[in-house]
């Protein structure tokens, strides 16, 4: 079977302990405490993320859906007949409906770390697209995974919407795209949704919503540590922090300690200074030409880029 090999540094989890446990132990002993953003997406976190997508301040989802709707026929023509659409981080599989509705005889391979959430989404999708072969793959899309046989004989089209690629630093994004080029193979295409650089006030509002859903999503990481790793963290002594780092061109999310404290996780103690943070997410933003240059370095040919009228979001079609 074709293999997805997307992260050269990825090591298998230590036997008897979860990868989550290992990554928490490692991340909380770094000088800048850091936790990988992929751990947001347990079933509770996936639900909270779906609520973020509906927020008035969170423009990316509805803007990208508008772009995909306006250009569904262009994207279907780009993909061609009998393509295998391989979605990285498929979540609730909402946006793919716009493409499946326009494509001729597609197959669909969603890849997501949140297995239960994905399976429920695919069950709903099958009801509406009964003739589309589908084969979900439960994995972190940066890890190796066997691609299912339903893709054989089909042109492979990667689908990576939502600016999930922004969770990588530019170097990581380039490595991901290069590796995906090898995986998807000669003649492949890639449809990538990328959030654009814009007025920092708009970005600030999108990651600091008034209802506090983004705060709950961020702090769910601590709740998940309590649930799965016998953590004894008092969430009342931490708060959500999100800001635009202009020098790095990214929104950063952190969890800030509201006092000097020690917390116990699975028997180990971790000390926090007052105001010390855990860096939980990068959300990198790219001008159109910046992302096209990055894609070229990774071995892709940028064919076309669609944006909305307000220049909030972009959808790139890449070929190789």
Query: 38: which 2 tokens?
Result: 């992929």
Residues from 37 through 56 that contact ligand AVJ (CB under 6 A): 52
User: Interface with ligand AVJ includes 63 (CB under 6 A)?
Assistant: no
To ligand AVJ, the closest distance from the beta carbon of 232 in angstroms equals 26
CA count, 13 A, side-chain hemisphere, 262: 5
Instruction: Compute the distance between CA of residue 179 and CA of residue 145 in angstroms, rounded to an integer.
Output: 13
Instruction: Compute the distance between CA of residue 92 and CA of residue 96 in angstroms, rounded to an integer.
Output: 9
To ligand AVJ, the closest distance from the beta carbon of 112 in angstroms equals 12
Q: Which CB, 61 or 154, lies closer to ligand AVJ?
A: 61
Residue 168 contacts residue 176 (beta carbons within 8 Å):
yes
Write the binding mask 142 to 181 for ligand AVJ: x where contact by CB under 6 A, - elsewhere.
--------------------xxx-xx--------------
Nearest to 99 by CA among 118, 117, 79: 79
To ligand AVJ, the closest distance from the beta carbon of 313 in angstroms equals 11
Q: Which CB, 21 or 190, lies closer to ligand AVJ?
A: 190
Instruction: Compute the distance between CA of residue 78 and CA of residue 83 in angstroms, rounded to an integer.
Output: 10
Q: Which CB, 162 or 231, lies closer to ligand AVJ?
A: 162
To ligand AVJ, the closest distance from the beta carbon of 101 in angstroms equals 23
To ligand AVJ, the closest distance from the beta carbon of 155 in angstroms equals 26
Residue with the CB atom nearest ligand AVJ in the bound state: 283
Query: 82: which 2 tokens?
Result: 């009998």
Query: 84: which 2 tokens?
Result: 């295998």
Nearest to 84 by CA among 137, 6, 139, 123: 137
Write the binding mask 89 to 128 for ligand AVJ: x where contact by CB under 6 A, - elsewhere.
----------------------------------------
To ligand AVJ, the closest distance from the beta carbon of 281 in angstroms equals 6
User: Interface with ligand AVJ includes 313 (CB under 6 A)?
Assistant: no
User: Interface with ligand AVJ includes 61 (CB under 6 A)?
Assistant: no
- What SS3 class is residue 31? coil
DSSP secondary structure code for residue 231 in this structure: B
> Do the bridges between strand 137-138 and strand 107-112 make them parallel or antiparallel, or are there none, so unpaired?
parallel
Q: How far apart are the first and last CA of the chain?
A: 21
* Sites of contact with ligand AVJ (CB under 6 A): 52, 60, 162-164, 166-167, 207, 214, 281, 283
């Amino acid at each position: 079977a074709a293999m997805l090999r997307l992260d050269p540094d990825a090591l298998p989890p230590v036997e008897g302990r979860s990868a989550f446990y290992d990554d928490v132990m490692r991340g909380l002993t770094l000088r800048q405490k850091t936790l990988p953003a992929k751990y947001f997406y347990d079933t509770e976190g996936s639900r909270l993320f779906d609520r973020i997508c509906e927020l008035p301040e969170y423009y990316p989802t509805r803007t990208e859906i508008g772009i995909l709707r306006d250009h569904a026929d262009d994207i279907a023509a780009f993909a061609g007949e009998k393509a295998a659409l391989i979605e990285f981080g498929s979540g609730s599989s909402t946006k793919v409906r716009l493409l499946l509705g326009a494509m001729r005889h597609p197959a669909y391979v969603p890849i997501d770390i949140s297995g239960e959430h994905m399976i429920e989404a695919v069950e709903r999708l099958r009801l509406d697209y009964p003739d589309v072969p589908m084969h979900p793959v439960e994995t972190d899309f940066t890890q190796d995974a066997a691609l299912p046989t339903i893709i054989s004989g089909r042109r492979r089209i990667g689908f990576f919407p939502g600016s999930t690629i922004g969770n990588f630093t530019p170097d990581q994004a380039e490595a991901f795209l290069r590796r995906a080029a090898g995986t998807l193979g000669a003649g492949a295409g890639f449809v990538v949704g990328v959030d654009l650089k814009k007025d920092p006030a708009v970005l600030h509002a999108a990651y600091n919503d008034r209802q506090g859903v983004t705060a709950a999503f961020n702090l769910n990481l601590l709740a998940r540590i309590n649930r799965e790793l016998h953590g004894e963290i008092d969430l009342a002594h931490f708060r959500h922090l999100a800001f635009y780092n202009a020098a790095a061109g990214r929104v950063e999310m952190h969890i800030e300690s509201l006092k000097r404290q020690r917390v116990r996780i699975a028997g180990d103690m971790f000390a926090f200074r007052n105001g010390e943070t855990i860096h939980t997410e990068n959300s990198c933003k790219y001008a159109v030409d910046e992302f096209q240059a990055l894609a070229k370095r990774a071995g892709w040919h940028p064919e076309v880029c669609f944006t909305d009228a307000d220049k909030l979001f972009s959808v790139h079609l890449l070929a190789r």
